[in-house]
Every structure is written in C-alpha cells, then in structure tokens.
Amino acid sequence: MGEIYIKVLLIMAVLFLFMVPGFLLKKLKVIKEGATHALSTVLLYVCQPALAIKAFCVFSKEEYAIVNSVDKLTLLKNFGITTVITVVSIVALFLICKAIFFKSKNKAKTNVYSFVAMFSNCGFLGIPFIQMFTDNNPLAVMYMMVFNVSFNVLCWTLGVYLVTGDAKNISLKKVLLNPTLISNFLGLIIFFIPQINIFMFEGFKDLQTFPLYLSYMTAPISMIIVGIRLAETPVKQLFCHKGVYISSALRLVVSPFLTLLIALPFIPLLGSGLASGFEEYVYLAPVIAMAMSPAAAVVAIAEAFGGDRDSATSSFVTGTLISIITIPLVISAVMAIL
C-alpha cells in the first residue's frame, strides 16, 4: 500500500505542478481576460478528440498485443459493464445529493454543489492520471474513455438540468455534436474495424504523431486553467462555505467508494479474465475516474446558463486543491481493498 501511495502522490505532484505557470502568469497579469475560455476551447475541440483517437486507434506493438489479448466480443461486453457502472454511480449520487440538500433554501448554490459531487474531472485529469498510474496500459485508458462517453452525455443533460433547473436548456443537438463524443464513437468504429485504421498501416506510422502530441497537451492545459482560476478566486471565497466542503467530500471520498460498491457485483461477469490482470480495469477505471477532482464543466455550464458562477468557481478550485490530498489516500485504500 505504501508504494502505491507514493506512486499516486508523485503523479499528483507532477499533474499539479502544471498549475504553477497558469497561477503565476495570471498573478503577473501576463494572461488577460478570456484566456481560460480560449484554452478550454482548445481542450474541448482539439485535445480531447485527439485523446479519444489516440486511445482507440494508436498503439505501439506492445500495446497492440495487450489489446488483442482480449477478444472483441469480451471488450464490447466490458465496455457495456463500464457504461452501466458509470450511469448507476452518477444517478445514485444524484439521489444522495437530493436527500442531503432537499431542505436548502438557496437552490442555485445547492444545485452547483450537487453537480460538483456527481461529475468528476475524468477527462482532463482522470485520463492522464490513469495513463501514468497503469504505465500507459491501453485497456485501462480505453475503459476510462468509455466512462468519459457516459459522463459527457449525463453531464450535458442531467448536469445542465441540475444547474439551470429547466429541462428546456437541454439540447440534444449539443449533446450529439459534442466533439468528444463524436471522436469517441469514431475511435470505437475504427477500433472494431481495424482494416480502416490508417494509423496502424505499415508506411503510415508517422501519422500517429498527430493525435499523439495533441493528446499529450490535455493534462498541461487543463491544469494551467486550474492555476488561472485559482489566481482569479479570492481566498475567502475558497474556504468559507460549508457547502463547498460537503460537495468536495461527496465528490472525492463518497463517490469513488460508492462506485466501487456498485462495481463489485459485476466482477463475476468478468470471468477468468481477471487472472490476466487486465480486466480489473473494467471496474477500476470508473472508480479512479470518480476519485478525481470536480469537473471543470461546472464553471462553463454556470457561465453559459446563468447559474451560480461564484459557487461553481469556488467549488471547482477548492475541490481540486483538496484532491491533492484525497486522491492518493483514496486510490491507496481502493487498491488495498482489491
């Protein structure tokens, strides 16, 4: 357990060092207003799609051998299990939040807190984290990407409804045209039809550089944005609201263990594949995803739909800072249980 704790702690140190440039540049007033919007756009429309293509279509020889060690039907079944675990976990958290905050008079704030509790930074932080934690195991990354598909659908439907309180703000068009979803589905199609995967053709391997390098930008840019947000947020706004601590506790502690509890009944469905040490990622990837800091989308949705932007920003930044402590502890505890 001690080795796992140290490894996770070092991973978190590397990821959170990326915050420093954003924080310093904002404090020095080198970064102007609107920079976070521009960086977030690059993440959403460039880095995340590249990350999806990289996860499903770009492999080294060693990684391809690992992927091919599990037949396609088994992978399809495992993707389905991952999706079910994801949906059930997020809906369960939604019900828990409703029970905790039902007496609150300030619905705008508690809706934001509920969103924070339900949705993690599984894409911008979770995927780079699991890459480092599993030494870039391709199956672990793929299961995390499948989690990300369900996350995005629920985030831009249930999440938007939660923050705005109005189902009219849910746009099916925006959900279906989400670049991350499109790239994930495109990547899955190419993965299951390898005959059209040009990235793996002999003589075309240099094309792998394009999605590979763009995907590497995900973690640095996302954490630079957190650093900018931290520099913009007054200290008293970060740590002076009880709801922020409640939502952070639900997000960082309750949600991963709840997800593990939901995932455990699915273990018998995985069969003897667990002996290979790879199929454990079917349920471990959702647990790791749910242990991550709050989703950056909470700020974007609050800004776009007139939600409580101050509560969204303080919850996002405070939860992210607290996650530096909780993620190593939670992941170590989960691995000890397993």
Q: What is the CATH number of the domain that holds 24?
A: 1.20.1530
Q: How far apart are CA 265 and CA 259, in angstroms?
A: 11
What pLDDT score does 270 carry? 59
Give the H or E element holding residue 158.
none
What pLDDT score does 273 carry? 43
Total domains in the chain come to 1
The rounded average pLDDT for each run of 10 residues, N- to C-terminus, in the chain (338 residues) is 84 90 93 84 88 91 87 89 94 93 83 92 88 89 91 87 76 80 92 91 88 91 89 79 90 96 80 53 90 87 75 87 92 86
The parent domain of residue 170 ranges over 2-337
What pLDDT score does 269 carry? 66
Q: Please tell me the pTM assigned to this model.
A: 0.87
What pLDDT score does 290 carry? 95
What pLDDT score does 202 carry? 83
What pLDDT score does 243 carry? 85
Q: How far apart are CA 245 and CA 241, in angstroms?
A: 7
